A = this chain, B = another copy of it.
């Protein structure tokens, strides 16, 4: 039987039908086109339903960019107006009855994707650190996905990694303000005295621009300290670096990040852990959504 994975982005609904080995059988995309509230939910449900003609479907997994309230089965997605506490699971179940529907956050789907088809295949303890506009982590611990009291486990970007507090971090947290894509752009913009994007900072870093070097070297130190803390606290087999920043130019910095982490982290755990880049490219969320049905 097949499983259906749906990845809800900021503007589109990507869906794929997988066999139980994680191979894609067919794909489809719909566009939100400004839909909000119940209308956006109905688009997701209709996208799911359209696959039922082709195949027997074992279950539906949906990846959402936000928080999944696991006790109430509702979601908060800041990108979709009216989705502060939206009953997405119920909306899909009404349209596609008799199949289980799983809703998971994007960071949970990333680590599930790695577990199914990426570098974490044989792992029971692995952390995916997603460095994009923000920083978050999907955590597989003792073979299970963890959620926490408010379903916001892994709020990695908020880690305290500096000696004294700075008001500058109020909005996004200490780690994130230095080491997310937006954080790198922010630090560089202050230093260059003009708006500058994180890809531009990386390309200036490649050409040894001293200001860009300062920003990226600081980010490397922060990634090292942040990853070390994940290792000391969770004792995982691997840390997988992914997200926009690590699908690009930061990937080759991973060995330097490991060396920084080695100074700080619990020595036994650090000796045994691997730091890797994501083994799956753009389909991580879709794969993870699909695998949430089988997991």
Contact = CB atoms under 8 A, between A and B. Distances in A.
Contacts of A228: 158, 160
B147 A142 contact: yes
A229 B149 contact: no
Interface residues of A, number: 48
A280 interface: no
A225 B160 contact: yes
A106 interface: no
A200 interface: no
A141 interface: yes
B269 A235 contact: no
B162 A162 contact: yes
Contact of A174 (B141, B148, B154, B264): B264
A100 B169 CA distance: 50
Interface in A222-242: 225-226, 228-230, 232-237
A193 to B, nearest CB: 24
- Helix, strand, loop or mixed for chain A's interface? loop
B160 A161 contact: yes
Interface in A60-109: none
Interface in A130-154: 137, 141-142, 144, 146-154
8 contacts: A146-B146, A150-B272, A154-B235, A156-B232, A158-B266, A159-B229, A169-B264, A233-B233
Interface of A: 124-125, 137, 141-142, 144, 146-156, 158-165, 169, 173-174, 221, 225-226, 228-230, 232-237, 263-266, 268-269, 272-273
